[in-house]
């Protein structure tokens, strides 16, 4: 595999829910080891894009290649093996509230071990979970708590720990700083950057938060009405030269993007 | 004319919806059952569900059965005394409890308690992305959430019904002996004369079917719930209502198969 082959290559991806077209022929390349940030308004299809890649929502048309293999055409078993190489941080954490924090973090490790017939013991899994919790700045003693006993920022960190515990090749972040104060948001962004660098993973993050987008991303793209209308370096997000991106990143009310509001 | 056509169209939509739901439910059940023979099996989830359904439902099922047995004895007495047929009361109580009241009342109690809780738990997992998270963590949600619960429900309800049968008969015995002045040895002898093995075994078989249906409804409505708290609330209600109706309908069918001569 050469470095010029994208880690994730999407072509002509289309998804509609009834008459509403959410993704309308998306073409996107994410190179190995880079972080791609996708911005866009609420309901623009950012989360649907990630869910299509993960196979949580079936795409209507198009191809999604990971390491050159079209995952949409793979049989279930092989597709599950590909998904196993992806870690995901959900917007609201999506921690399993019936399990303790350490069981959440070790869940993927135990599941993967079970699939491959070399399941670690619970003691080993707990020790690993403790080490991963330390990586995201949490004391291993937090592992004994229930997710409901944690603050929003701590839940995000546990979600991040769960996503990176299996040392995935690819990481997805769905609105990683939503609902957090600016300082905690910056802390989470820092942890994400550290984790992605340490693991050498390829990452896709979707966010509304421009500060976060610039901290996390190497590359950026904007999704509007189901199409990617701009791609470029994340550093040029605030002065992209594209009037739509500029309106969005500067939060201007007037501009080419018209909000569909009923007055 | 338009009103008639609208009415027919509404009926058609309802019928199509019913067929669609029945198809989806069948596929859901078959998919869940297929995971029984495909490893891994999540024993921790299974035993957790077994305790939740079997052990924690015990007080409510026991009390319901105890009082129901007593009520049947009292009601039978008031009716049968007019014809000097009080001697049949022990038989009436044991047959009513083992054939019908034990399985049906235990099933309805469990549907209200466990079916609702399952729908709420799985529904909350659905709307908070926990089910999607399972998929991203190499875990089939159907295998993890549904299959162990279905098996636990199918096993736990017969155990509960066995307890309900004993307590239901005990309730009838206590009322008959203490309040109606029946002879205890005669009542016990009449009970054992009236009851046949098939009465108990068919009751337990009914309970297994009810347990499967209750957990299937709880899991299905929770798994397919949408739209936040309101969606979870609707799923919970739908799970209990659907389980109760299916339970009574299947009770009729099973009774017809096993007992109608």
Mean pLDDT of the residues in chain A? 89
What residues contact residue B30 under an 8 Å CB cut-off, 6+ apart? none
Map tokens 């949580």 to a residue: A56
Which of chain B's residues have a Cβ under 8 Å away from the Cβ of A80? 138
Is the confidence at residue A263, as pLDDT, over 50? no
- For residue B4, tell me if it sits in a domain: no
pLDDT of residue B93: 95
Does B75 reside within a domain?
A: yes
On whether residue B36 sits in a domain, the answer given is: no
B210 is in which domain, residue-wise? 42-259
Please write the tens of the pLDDT for every residue from A211-230: 899 999 999 999 998 999 99
Does some domain include residue B51?
A: yes
- Domains in chain B: how many in total? 1
Average pLDDT (B78-82) is 86
Chain B residues with CB inside 8 Å of A99's CB?
A: none
Domains contained in chain A, CATH given:
1-75+208-263 (3.40.50.300)
pLDDT, residue B259, reads: 80
Q: Distance between CA A35 and CA A46 in Å, rounded?
A: 15
CA–CA separation, B29 and B259 (whole Å): 28
Give A3's pLDDT tier (boundaries 50, 70, 90). Answer: low
User: From the CA of B138, how many Å to the nearest CA of chain A?
Assistant: 6
Number of A–B residue contacts, CB under 8 Å: 48
Angle between helices B228-259 and B116-127 (to 10 degrees): 140
B137: nearest CB among A51, A98, A111: A111
Indicate the SS3 state at residue A227.
strand
User: What's the mean per-residue pLDDT of chain B?
Assistant: 94
Beta-carbon contacts of A215 under 8 Å, excluding residues fewer than 6 positions away, are: A186, A189, A190, A193
Residue A22 scores a pLDDT above 80 = yes
Question: For tokens 């347990």, what's the residue?
Answer: B211
Give the H/E segment covering residue A51. Answer: helix A46-54
* Residue B8 domain flag: no
Phi, psi of A236 (to 5 degrees): -100, 15
The 10s digit of each residue's pLDDT in B157-210 is: 999 999 999 999 999 999 999 999 999 999 999 999 999 999 999 999 999 999
Question: Percentage of chain A with pLDDT > 70?
Answer: 97
- The answer to pTM > 0.90 is no
Residue B46's pLDDT band, with cuts at 50, 70 and 90, is very high
Residue B1 in any domain: the answer is no
Q: Which helix (H) or strand (E) holds A154?
A: helix A152-164
* Residue to substitute from A108, A159, A169, interface B, most B β-carbons within 10 A: A108
Tell me the per-residue pLDDT of A137-151, one tens digit each, with 9 for 90 and over: 899 999 999 999 999
Compute the average pLDDT of residues B55-78. 95
- Residue B2, domain member (yes or no): no
Q: Is the pLDDT of residue B252 over 60?
A: yes
| Region for A20 from its dihedrals, namely left if φ exceeds 0, alpha if ψ lies in -120 to 50, beta otherwise | beta
The answer to whether residue B62 is domain-embedded is yes
- Asked if pLDDT for residue A4 goes beyond 80, the answer is no
> Do A106 and A187 meet the contact criterion of CB atoms below 8 Å apart?
no
Contacts of B138 in chain A (CB under 8 A): 80, 83-84, 108, 111-112, 115
The one-character DSSP state at A223 is E
Which tens digit of pLDDT belongs to each residue from B206-245? 999 999 999 999 999 999 999 889 999 999 999 999 999 9
Residue A125 has pLDDT above 70, yes or no: yes
Instruction: Please tell me the least confidently modeled range out of A109-123, A195-209, B16-30, B70-84.
Output: A109-123
Q: Does B199 touch chain A (CB under 8 A)?
A: no
Task: Name the helix (H) or strand (E) containing B66.
Answer: helix B58-80
Q: Give the model's pLDDT for residue A152.
A: 87
Res A1 pLDDT > 50: no
Q: State mean pLDDT over B88-114.
A: 95
Helix axes B197-223, B116-127, angle to 10 degrees: 20
Which of the pair, A262 or B192, is modelled with greater confidence?
B192
Q: A115 contacts in B (CB within 8 Å)?
A: 40, 138
What is the least distance, in Å, from the CA of A241 to any CA of chain B? 37
Residues 80-139 on A with a CB inside 8 Å of B are 80, 83-84, 86-88, 90-92, 94-98, 107-108, 111-112, 114-115
For residue B135, what pLDDT is reported?
92
Better-predicted residue by pLDDT, A254 or A36? A36
Q: Is residue B48 over pLDDT 60? A: yes
């Amino acid at each position: 595999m050469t470095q010029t082959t994208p880690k994730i290559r999407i072509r002509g991806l289309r998804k509609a829910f009834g008459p509403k077209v959410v993704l309308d022929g998306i073409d996107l390349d994410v190179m190995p080891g880079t972080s791609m940030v996708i911005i866009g308004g609420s309901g623009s299809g950012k989360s649907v894009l990630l869910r299509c890649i993960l196979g949580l929502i079936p795409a209507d048309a198009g191809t999604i290649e990971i390491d050159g293999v079209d995952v949409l055409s793979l049989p279930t078993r092989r597709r599950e093996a590909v998904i196993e190489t992806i870690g995901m941080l959900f917007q609201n954490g999506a921690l399993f509230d019936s399990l303790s924090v350490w069981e959440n973090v070790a869940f993927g490790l135990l599941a993967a071990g079970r699939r491959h017939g070399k399941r670690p013991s619970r003691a080993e899994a707990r020790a690993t979970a403790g080490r991963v919790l330390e990586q995201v700045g949490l004391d291993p003693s937090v592992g004994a708590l229930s997710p409901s006993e944690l603050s929003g920022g701590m839940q995000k960190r546990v979600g991040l720990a769960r996503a990176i515990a299996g040392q995935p090749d690819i990481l997805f972040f769905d609105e990683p700083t939503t609902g957090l104060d600016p300082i905690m948001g910056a802390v989470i962004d820092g942890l994400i950057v550290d984790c992605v660098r340490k693991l050498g993973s390829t990452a896709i993050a979707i966010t509304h938060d421009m500060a976060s987008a610039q901290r996390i991303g190497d590359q950026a793209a904007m999704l509007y009405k189901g199409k990617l209308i701009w791609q470029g370096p994340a550093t040029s997000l605030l002065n992209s030269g594209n009037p739509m991106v500029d309106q969005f990143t500067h939060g201007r009310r007037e501009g080419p993007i018209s909000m569909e509001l009923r007055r | 004319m338009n009103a008639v056509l609208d009415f027919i169209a509404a009926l058609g939509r309802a019928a199509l919806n019913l067929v669609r739901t029945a198809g989806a439910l069948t596929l859901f059940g078959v998919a869940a059952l297929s995971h029984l023979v495909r490893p891994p099996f999540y024993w921790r989830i299974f035993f957790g569900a077994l305790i939740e359904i079997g052990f924690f439902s015990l007080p409510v099922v026991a009390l319901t059965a105890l009082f129901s047995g007593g009520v049947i004895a009292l009601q039978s007495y008031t009716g049968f005394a007019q014809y000097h047929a009080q001697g049949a009361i022990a038989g009436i109580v044991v047959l009513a409890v083992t054939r019908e009241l034990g399985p049906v009342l235990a099933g309805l109690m469990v549907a209200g308690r466990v079916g609702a809780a399952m729908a709420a738990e799985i529904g909350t997992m659905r709307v908070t992305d926990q089910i999607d998270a399972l998929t991203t963590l190499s875990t089939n949600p159907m295998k993890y959430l549904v299959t162990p619960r279905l098996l636990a429900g199918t096993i736990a309800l017969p155990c509960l019904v066995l307890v309900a049968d004993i307590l239901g008969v005990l309730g009838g015995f206590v009322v008959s002996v203490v309040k109606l002045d029946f002879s205890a040895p005669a009542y016990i002898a009449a009970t054992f004369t009236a009851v046949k093995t098939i009465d108990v075994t068919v009751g337990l078989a009914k309970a297994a079917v009810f347990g499967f249906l209750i957990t299937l409804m709880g899991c299905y409505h929770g798994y397919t719930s949408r739209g936040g708290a309101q969606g979870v609330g609707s799923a919970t209600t739908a799970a209990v209502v659907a389980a109760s109706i299916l339970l009574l309908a299947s009770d009729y069918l099973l009774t017809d198969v096993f007992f109608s001569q």
